[in-house]
Each structure stands twice: as structure tokens, then as C-alpha cells.
Structure 1
Amino acid sequence: MDVAGLGDGAMAVIAHGGPDAQGVPAWDFSTNANAVGPCPSALKAVQQVDARHYPDPAYTALRESLAAFHAVDAARIVLAGSASEFIGRFTAWVAREGGQRIWLPALAYGDYAHAAQAWRFERVHDAARAHLAWLCEPSSPLGEAEAFARQVVASGAQVVFDRAYEPLRLGGRCSLEPQALNRVWQLWTPNKALGLTGLRGAYAVAPEGAEAEARELDRLAPSWPLGAHAVAMLDAWVSPTAQAWLAQSLDTLRAWKAGLCAGLTDAGWRVLPSDAPFFCAAPPRALDVAALRAAGIKLRDTTGFGLPGHYRLSAQPPEAQAALLDALRTCGEAVA
């Protein structure tokens, strides 16, 4: 999601990748979900859920499995209905504790700003003045490392490190060492890596020594933030079978991304570097986005991210790439 208007009194303008009012695109380059998915073992686990019963309201077994996966105490696990739900809840908690100022990367996922706007946070450009700071790596929309990650962690703010795309990292390495990661809130959203974005479910790993704060966040959550299907997805996520499938999928995504970048470059696009299976690129001329959408092609305009004249595209199978390049040749160029 992206959102415009933080700090200027304007109405928020919200946009997402994926399906829209016209339904599911035939060739969807706008979403960052793992296009190799869905993960077979995770999908099977979800399909076999007994939805007649509530899950354990304390999610005891799920907390323990997630904690074991990350080698932390279960008291450091905070469950969330989705990353967006956690972003809203965490922002509300910081505001309740007296926070008033937020630091954000220049280009970032719009829900951070959307939640901050709802709580009337002031956006500051010096992380040392912030009460709340958000990082995401690989970042969206660029898919790169955060240049100021170490300085932000040292700022003294409550720092959330959004790791939604870490499982899909195709190159490079995390800019924070384990010691620094232990000082921040790590937000995980496995549905993207598993190719199951229609399922909502996320969790955060609290900083070392922040167990009391984690319980405060739990108390701010509604009852049963995760349904039985989300529990099944997160249980499957930490299984060796799903992790092996994910590792294999990265090789396919690297090949698909290389082919897409080459095709767009040959068509005159300027492709920006990225460590993820998605990237931003600028077309040589303005696009007729409506005509592309009518042809079944959806791209992600990054103007709302603060990057005008570019589009974010995710690695897709060769047949999708062929459809995109054909549509760009026949109907993609805007009429002057």
C-alpha cells in the first residue's frame, strides 16, 4: 500500500498491488507475492483446517513453534492479524506511551504513514528526534537495503524492522547484525513468501528484554487476531518442508527476474537495482495504464511511494513476461 498526505492535512490516498475493481489481473506484476507459489505444503495445511472451532486463544503451540524457529523465548512473540494490523496497533501503543514523532525512509510502504497520520504523528527527518521509526529490508518499492538502518537503530526510538521480503531476498545481505536485530522489533509476514497473500496472518519478534512491552501489545489486540487458517499457514511456514520449497523457489525467481529485466531493458526501460524479486523501472515514454489493464496487465505505479515516473514490477513466469512485452508494444504507450 502507499498513502499520500502525512503532515500536510490532505486526505490519504491509498493504493495496493494485486486485484482491483476489475478483479484478478491475468498477468499481475503489481503484487510482491512469490510467483512460484503457492507453497504446496502450506496450501495443503490450510485446506485441511477444521474451521468449526476457535483456535487456542493464547496460541500456545504456535508461539512456541515460532519462537523455536527464531531461537527466542516464546514471550517475545507477538501475533497479529496482518502486518497492517500490527502497524496500526504498534503505532497506537507508541502514541499511548506519549510518542508524537515518527521517522520513515524516503520511500516506504504506505501503511506506516497511514497509521502515523491517524494518530497525528509529526514526521521528522532526524531519527534521533523520533519516538517511532520504521525500516523495511529489502525495502518496498526499491527492494534494496536501508541506507540508514544502523543509525536509526542507534537513535533511541522504538524501531520496527519490517522483514516481509527477507525470505525472498535474492542477493545481498541484511544490513543489521544479529546484535542489532535483537534491539529492534522484527515484523514477519510469511504469506508473501508462501504465495498466499489472500491469507492474513503475521507476527513480530520483540527486542531482547522487551517481554513486558510484548504483553502490552498483546493486551491491545482483539480476541483471536488469527483465525484457524492463519494459524495453519504460520505453522506450515516454520516447517522444514516449506523452508526447503522456499529455498528452491528463489532460484526460479532469480531466473524470472533476470529475464524480465533484460526484456524491459531491451524495450528502453531504465531498471533500478534490487535485491528482491521485484524492482522499480522507468519506461522510455508515458504508459497507457488503462489500456494495459484492459489487456490483462497490471503494473504498480510508484508515484504514491514518492517515486514518480516509475513502476514496480515483480518477477513473473515467462508467459506473463511475453504478454507484458507484447502489450507494451501494441497498447502500452500513452497517446500524446
Structure 2
Amino acid sequence: MLEPVKFSTYHGGAREEGLLDFSASLNPYPPEWLDETFERAKELSNRYPYYERLEEELAELVGESLTVTAGITEALYLIGILALRGRKVVIARHTYGEYERVARIFGARVINGPNNPEKLAELVERNSLVFFCNPNNPDGRFYSVEELKPLLDAVEDRKALLVLDEAFMDFVRNPESPKGENIVKLRTFTKSYGLPGIRVGYVLGFEDAFKSVKMPWSIGSLGYAFLEFLIKDGFEHLRKTMPLIWREKERIERELDVRSDANFFIKHVDDAGEFVKAMKKRGILVRDCTSFGLPEYVRFSVRKPEENSILIEAFRELGEGF
């Protein structure tokens, strides 16, 4: 008999039409070559998308050897296959829920700790595994290499493994990324290119292990075409659009008294469920943070200037003590 897994988690993103969606933290500016990507995908759809050549070219662009995956989600399940069975797994209390879900699916022993690298380091044991999101989701806090040092040292000293989720790192100004033999880094193009339907990401570290268990053709013809144009573009799209997002992020920080290192914020609203309903009546979708263990907070992203103005006005109308 097959039994369902009882631990589940809710994710952002609109499930209904007609709402201005601030619940998913995405780049609001699509690439100029998006239409060409779809046309190229049609040309490729009648054959199996072997992408080893593109993987090598992407590695040259990034500057490190890597494994292409269908977003970070596939990478998490590959980690489950490779490393989670029966292992102690350390996860911060208020972070992306898929870490704990995957850990429990693969029979790991989950220990939750503070959202703080130094405090989390105290829970690291020999041969354990740590999931850490940087910048963290949902609060957007980014930790420098110096701030991560206690956790990095604990992982190295105790022969543990650190899985560092850098999904939102492209949105951070002048980001740093640590290096080490006991580190696996997860990255995705879903967020920074605003294309959650095109499942393309990559893993840095332990390439032989990840390549030995990854699915064949996991990214499909659309992902293959996306990679072709992304490599040709050379991350120019990010260089053009990130300053636009940073400028609007600073405006939202001033107007709503919030802070973040990423492209999203959390804000205290007393009752997140009721606040989300009130926002929906105004045609706006924000993220209820209850699934993060924060039922008094909502999360919202940075969008285009005219859209952000609508959000700011709605927050003012509803008031902080909603």
C-alpha cells in the first residue's frame, strides 16, 4: 500500500486569475528574448533534450563546475536520494518549508533551530546536514561570509554537510558566497528571470554525485531553449533589471518602514489570514506567512513602480494594526 506523506507546505504564487500577485518573489521584467525562447522550444520539442553541452557552457559562464537541475526543487530531492536517509538534519525555524518536507519524505531526523548561523552551529553534529537559505525566505536577511563563519567552521570541523540555498542571491547588492569542500550551493533562474514555469537551476559542488542520480531530460525543450538564450545573453538581463528593482525596493522601504536584502519583505499585520483576504478585495495578493511559522506576518515582493504604488496605498488604507 502507498501512504501519503502527512507533512506538506504551502507556497506562494497566484492560484486564481485577476489578482496583482505580490506573493511570488520574482523579477517583474521578463527577458527581451522570451518570445524567441518559446519559438526555439517548438523546434526542439520533437527530440530528447540532451543538454550536456549547455551544462558545460553554463559552467564556463558561472566560473565553476555545476549540475543543471529542474530548479532548486529537483536539487532538493536529489539531496534526499544522496544524503538524507536516517541522517540528522538541522533547519532554521522560519525558512523555506520544502527543506523539512523533503527531509521527512526521506526519513531524516529533523532538528529546528534559531534563524541565526552562530546559534544554528551549536546544533551541528558529526555527519549531520544543515539546510540554510541565504538570503533567507521569508525575511530576506542576507548573511555575509564573515557572519556565516561559525556555521561554516562547525560544518567543516564535524564533517557535516551544508546545503546553502542561494535562490535569491541575484537580488542582493554585492553578494558573497562561501567556498568549501563540505558545501552544496543551490541556485535557480526561476526568481531572477521571473519565469517560475521554466524549471531551470543548478547545483554547485559534488558534481559526480548529483549527475549520477539526476533525472534524464529533466528540464525539457523549453528549459533547453531558455539555457541557450541565457548563455548567449551572458547575464546581461540581470545587469539591466536589478538596478530597477533595487530602486523600487528602497522606495518601499521608505514608504512602509520595512527592510530586506532581497526582493521581498515581511510585515507585521496581526492576523495574516484576514489581511490576505482584505488585500484580495483590493485585487492584490500577498503571501500569508503562517506556513513559515509566522501567522502575524505577510510577505510581498517588489514589482514595477506603478504596481508598487498600488500596494503601498493598500497598506496605508488597511493600517499596520489591521
TM-score, L = length of structure 1? 0.79
Q: Is the CA contact (8 Å cut-off) linking 2:49 and 2:224 kept in structure 1?
A: no
The match for 1:326 among 289, 313, 320 is 313
The match for 1:132 among 98, 117, 129 is 129
Q: Is the CA contact (8 Å cut-off) linking 1:188 and 1:203 kept in structure 2?
A: yes
1:114-129 map, 5 Å: 114-124=101-111, 125=113, 126-129=123-126
* Residue aligned with 2:185, SS: strand
| Cα distance in 2, alignment partners of residues 104 and 43 from structure 1 | 40
* Residue aligned with 1:15, SS: coil
Please say if 1:257 is aligned against 2:228.
Answer: no
Shift of the 284–109 alpha-carbon distance from structure 1 to 2, 3 Å rule, reads: closer
Instruction: Name the residue aligned to 1:165.
Output: 168
Please say if 1:15 is aligned against 2:10.
Answer: yes
Q: Is the CA contact (8 Å cut-off) linking 2:160 and 2:182 kept in structure 1?
A: no
Listed one character per residue, the Cα deviations across residues 161-197 of structure 1 (whole Å, up to 9, x for unaligned) are 212111121x353262xx43x6422211112111111
Please say if 1:31 is aligned against 2:24.
Answer: yes
Q: Is the CA contact (8 Å cut-off) linking 2:84 and 2:106 kept in structure 1?
A: yes
**Which amino acid in 1 is paired with 2:221?**
A
| Cα distance in 2, alignment partners of residues 264 and 175 from structure 1 | 30
Q: Is the CA contact (8 Å cut-off) linking 2:89 and 2:129 kept in structure 1?
A: yes
Q: Is the CA contact (8 Å cut-off) linking 2:252 and 2:308 kept in structure 1?
A: yes
Question: How many residue pairs align between the two structures?
Answer: 300
* Residue aligned with 1:192, SS: coil
Instruction: Name the residue aligned to 2:216.
Output: 223
Instruction: Name the residue aligned to 1:174.
Output: 176
Q: Is the CA contact (8 Å cut-off) linking 2:71 and 2:190 kept in structure 1?
A: no
Deviation at 1:332, TM superposition (A): 7.2
* Residue aligned with 2:170, SS: helix
Please say if 1:281 is aligned against 2:267.
Answer: yes
**Which amino acid in 2 is paired with 1:67?**
A
Q: Is the CA contact (8 Å cut-off) linking 1:65 and 1:235 kept in structure 2?
A: no
**Which amino acid in 2 is paired with 1:188?**
R
Q: Is the CA contact (8 Å cut-off) linking 2:270 and 2:321 kept in structure 1?
A: no
* Residue aligned with 2:54, SS: helix
Deviation at 1:65, TM superposition (A): 0.7
Shift of the 77–130 alpha-carbon distance from structure 1 to 2, 3 Å rule, reads: same
Shift of the 136–334 alpha-carbon distance from structure 1 to 2, 3 Å rule, reads: closer
- The root-mean-square deviation of aligned C-alpha atoms, in Å, is 2.7
Shift of the 329–226 alpha-carbon distance from structure 1 to 2, 3 Å rule, reads: same
Listed one character per residue, the Cα deviations across residues 130-184 of structure 1 (whole Å, up to 9, x for unaligned) are 5322122212112222454424542422222212111121x353262xx43x642
Please say if 1:93 is aligned against 2:82.
Answer: yes
| Cα distance in 1, alignment partners of residues 127 and 301 from structure 2 | 33
**Which amino acid in 2 is paired with 1:186?**
K
Instruction: Name the residue aligned to 1:7.
Output: none
- Mean alpha-carbon deviation: is it higher for 118-127 or for 61-70? 118-127
Deviation at 1:282, TM superposition (A): 1.5
Shift of the 121–327 alpha-carbon distance from structure 1 to 2, 3 Å rule, reads: same
| Cα distance in 2, alignment partners of residues 200 and 234 from structure 1 | 11
The match for 1:102 among 83, 86, 89 is 89
Please say if 1:84 is aligned against 2:73.
Answer: yes
Q: Is the CA contact (8 Å cut-off) linking 1:292 and 1:332 kept in structure 2?
A: no
* Residue aligned with 1:141, SS: coil
**Which amino acid in 2 is paired with 1:137?**
N
Q: Is the CA contact (8 Å cut-off) linking 1:101 and 1:131 kept in structure 2?
A: yes
Please say if 1:292 is aligned against 2:287.
Answer: no
| Cα distance in 1, alignment partners of residues 35 and 241 from structure 2 | 15
| Cα distance in 2, alignment partners of residues 114 and 284 from structure 1 | 27
Instruction: Name the residue aligned to 2:118.
Output: none
| Cα distance in 1, alignment partners of residues 228 and 155 from structure 2 | 30
Deviation at 1:334, TM superposition (A): 8.7
* Residue aligned with 2:308, SS: helix
Sequence identity (%) = 25
Q: Is the CA contact (8 Å cut-off) linking 2:276 and 2:288 kept in structure 1?
A: no
Consecutive unaligned residues of structure 1, counting only runs of 5 or more, are 1-9, 266-270
Deviation at 1:94, TM superposition (A): 0.9
1:177-256 map, 5 Å: 179-180=179-180, 183-206=182-205, 210-213=206-209, 217-239=210-232, 241=233, 243-256=235-248
TM-score, L = length of structure 2? 0.82
Shift of the 244–222 alpha-carbon distance from structure 1 to 2, 3 Å rule, reads: closer
